[in-house]
Amino acid sequence: MRSSCKSDFVSCPPLLVRREGRGMHEGLDFSTMGITDDFMFGTVFQDLGLCRGLVEVLLGIKVRDLRMVERQELIDFGPASRAGIVDLLVRDVDGNVYDVEMQNGADPDIARRARRYLSLVDASVLDRGQRFGDAGNVIVLFICAHDPFGRGWKRYDYPRLCEQDGEPLGDGTSIVFVNAEGTRGDFGDGFDAFMSYLRDDNVIGSDFVRSVDDAVCGFRDDPGWRRFRMLWSEKYRNEFADAFDEGEAKGKAEGRAEGKVEGRAEGKEEGFSRAVELMHRLMVDGRERELEEAMRDPERMKRLLEEYGL
């Protein structure tokens, strides 16, 4: 059955938005906006219960409690502060870290992008002075609306293996791509139900999917959330142009033309990550109106970012 959530939001025409780093265009229409929208995805899975369910369903594992990895933990690492581009970064009580990314558009460089995320996250979350043997696992998980490799698997798992005999390296790292268009492989009914939800907005036979859809409906119908989503679409990417320029400068410093392009995209994505996190924190503290005011006052925006360590 299709999602039962209906929105009464009709006063605003769809907007055309370019998702930097996603390689796609889309019209912003609140009546149809779902979990694949990056802003919605980031909002819904701030709920640690839903985030835990997502990791368990997609990876087929059990997770003991989760907490968000604070942005400051990444900033403290120095160069790895660029890992702020991650969509969702969580750590369980056993020290395992999960970087979850929502990928809508086709990306021919997705494998190298995943490699970069893995290296940044792995280095930045290793506690100073910690023995390597005590470090938890690091898993980078891409949720793909389209088949990233064109081979039809519902899930592509890439641990590090020995080329000669296929034995795993056992370094605790893995890159996983789940494919909403996949038809090969059996990863359980819960997995299939969530893929169907991504693909067609169908809510079928899964309490977890129903809970996710309820959250989507709740935010979709929330005037405050709509306002923030509208503001972001119209202005946020420009308001965080400094992050864009910072990324461009980084690319220039590396002295590579491709580095410049990559750096510019990274700056934009980092700006998005900062905006989403600031919005969530202000909403939790009952201060959401301050963000709208800060949109018109760069100094106020700067102070809010500093206040929340972003």
The SS3 call for residue 136 is coil
What is the percent of the chain with per-residue pLDDT over 70, rounded to a whole number? Answer: 65
Measure the CA–CA gap between 232 and 239, rounded to whole angstroms.
9
**Furthest-apart CA atoms within the chain: distance in Å:** 62
- Which residues have a Cβ under 8 Å from the Cβ of 203 and sit 6 or more positions away? 1, 2, 3, 4, 197, 209, 210, 213
Helices (H), 126-256: 189-200, 207-220, 223-231, 237-239, 241-254
**Burial class of residue 62, CB neighbours in 10 A (0-12, 13-18, 19+):** exposed
Measure the CA–CA gap between 174 and 104, rounded to whole angstroms.
21
Structure tokens at 170: 């056992």
Q: What are the tens digits of pLDDT across the range 242-264?
A: 443 443 444 455 554 444 444 44
Q: How confident is the model at residue 300 (pLDDT cuts 50, 70, 90)?
A: confident
pLDDT on residue 126: 67
Q: How confident is the model at residue 273 (pLDDT cuts 50, 70, 90)?
A: low
| Least-confidence region, from 9-18, 126-135, 230-239 | 9-18
In this structure, are strands 24-28 and 155-159 parallel, antiparallel, or unpaired? unpaired
CA terminus-to-terminus distance, the chain: 40
Q: What are the tens digits of pLDDT across the range 222-238?
A: 888 887 777 666 545 55
pLDDT on residue 180: 96
Measure the CA–CA gap between 68 and 89, rounded to whole angstroms.
6
Mean pLDDT on 146-152: 96
Residue of 84, 50, 52 lying closest to 70 (CA atoms): 84
Mean pLDDT on 22-44: 72
